[in-house]
Chains A and B, each alone.
Chain A
Amino acid sequence: MRRTVAALLRKELLIELRSWQSVPGMSLFALTTFVVFHFALNRSRVDGDLAAGILWVTLLFAAILGVNRLFVADAEEGGFDGFLLAPVDRGAMLLAKALALLLYLVALELVAVPAFALLLLGPTLGGTLPSLAGVLALGDLGVAVIGTLVAALAVRTRARDLLGPLLALPLMVPIVIAGSRASSPLLALRGGEPAARWLATLGLYDLLFGLIAYALFDFLLED
């Protein structure tokens, strides 16, 4: 199983490095969105709730871009069949794709969070950065799991570019709720700590949908 996941992940990353389908697009989208927010809100500096909201919304929408591209190569180039013919556990594809998406999200945040701090954020991140990274990591897990499940659902339909976001956004609302509430004190003028209940909510979400995705994924692949 581990070997299969490793082989799949290696293939994913190789294709991404070769074709640059996801990460550059997501990062650029995030940067542009920050600029749009500046003009749309007519604010030069934001903090607290507003900052958390802008950050999470931007990250979420950029993530949707990555989700849309996740299975496209497989669907169009017969990658599903190639994998389905191999004598391996099919859950490995879910794990590998979710891990890949997670890595893309981390790469996205490595660009977006500093950009956010530079362009829009009032208070300096400094000491709260590790906590923020932790909150983002929990949120990323949820996005990766649900994103992979939704991507697999949407990719073999006729309206895949539309259905992906339509399905993913409502499902990710709890992540936005918990993520932004948890980040808000970290981005406030007078720094604080995220309330434990939001971290618990994120954790519960990740666990619940991780299990569900793993149980259901096979049904999406087979015919």
Chain B
Amino acid sequence: MHSSSPSSPAVGSGLRALSIAAAAVMAVALRLVFFYAPLDADQGFLQKIFYLHVPLAIVALCGFVAAALMAIMHLRTRDARWDMRSYVAIHMSLIFAVATLITGSIWARGSWGHWWVWSEPTLVSFLIVFLLYATYQPLRFAIEDPDRQARYASVFAITAGAFVPMNFIAVRLSTAYLHPRVLGSTSNLPPRMALTFIVSLLAMALLYATLCGCELTAKRTRAQLRALRRLADARAGAGEDGDPQSRRSRSAAPSMPAAGTLAAPAPRGGL
């Protein structure tokens, strides 16, 4: 049996560099937000939540779309690693989406007096997107065959990814002629605000990438551990008919492919 190779040093150092960069840019962003960006005339200090809320939203949306692209790669190459990346991307984007909703709600409460406003299209769209992606994990959990689970999850990710822009269009149209934008838009920002915004966006993107990288590494390590354990079991002469599937509880998360295919993807029929 091929033994799974330990994660190469390149992966480890890449992630370390990324997390350092993320921490650095976040520190710069915080400094800019609190000490550099001017106070907004209308909303005062509360407006600074804009530098948190909008980057969260943009990164979450890009994450969902990226997950859809990874899902397309998974369906085309049948490589389980793409499915893993897609899963992690959606997982992380969902967390960022919840954070978007929370920060948006706080902002709405501060500037409009209500914890929720229907007239802010971004917030409303995010609610719908959140409700959709919240079904991703239950869907995966409801399919036992890991092969089919990954395939169906990819179909979902692609459909949902196409849905996100369509949804934004529809919601934006439905609110456009009713109320003016409540929480402010990103166009026509004075230069100091614009700079702060760009840096905040960069910081959020790096944070997202770092968190995804961490989760991917954790999953990979867990898979290698499992493979080693299986190897040890086999050497110790545990029953050949034991079904590892039944020992492991059902999982919504994809697992890495069995050892022996980690080295190279198995020859598969082309599409």
A residues sitting closer than 8 Å to B (CB atoms) are: 149, 153, 156-160, 163, 166-167, 169-171, 173-174, 177-178, 181, 197-198, 201, 204-205, 208-209, 212-213, 216, 219-220, 223
Contacts and interface: CB of A to CB of B under 8 A. Distances in A.
Given A163-B139, A174-B169, 15 more contacts: A156-B143, A157-B143, A157-B152, A159-B138, A160-B142, A163-B135, A167-B135, A170-B132, A171-B159, A171-B163, A174-B163, A209-B166, A219-B154, A219-B155, A223-B147
B151 interface: yes
Contacts of B170: 173-174, 177-178, 201, 205
Given A170-B132, A173-B167, A216 B148 contact: no
Contact of A158 (B143, B147, B166): B143
A156 B143 CA distance: 8
B139 A157 contact: yes
Interface string B145-163: 0011001101110111011
Contact of A163 (B132, B138, B144): B138
For the complex of A and B, 8 pairs with smallest distance between CB atoms:
A157-B142, A174-B170, A170-B132, A158-B142, A177-B170, A170-B131, A159-B142, A166-B135
B132 A149 contact: no
Chain A binding site: helix, strand, loop or mixed by DSSP? helix
Interface of B: 75, 128-129, 131-132, 135, 138-139, 142-144, 147-148, 151-152, 154-156, 158-160, 162-163, 166-167, 169-171, 173-174
Contacts of A178: 170, 173
B139 A167 contact: yes
B174 A181 contact: yes
Nearest to A201: B170
A159 B135 CA distance: 12
6 contacts: A157-B142, A160-B142, A166-B135, A170-B135, A197-B173, A216-B75
Contacts of B160: 171
User: Taking each of B148, B151, B159, which has the highest tally of chain A beta carbons within 10 Å of its own beta carbon?
Assistant: B159
Given A170-B132, A219-B151, A158 B75 contact: no
A223 B269 CA distance: 13
A158 B160 CA distance: 21
B138 A209 contact: no
Contacts of B171: 174, 177
Nearest to A211: B162
Contacts of A197: 173
Contacts of A156: 143, 148
Nearest to B171: A177
B155 A153 contact: yes
Contact of A171 (B132, B143, B151, B174): B132
Most buried by B among A159, A174, A220: A174
B156 A153 contact: yes
Nearest to B74: A219
A178 B169 CA distance: 10
A166 B173 CA distance: 24
Contacts of B138: 159, 163, 166
A209 B166 CA distance: 10
B149 to A, nearest CB: 9
A167 B135 CA distance: 7
A159 B140 CA distance: 11
A131 to B, nearest CB: 19
Contacts of A219: 75, 151, 154-155
Contacts of B174: 177, 181
Contact of A212 (B132, B135, B154, B159): B159
Max chain B CB contacts within 10 Å: which of A149, A153, A159, A170? A170
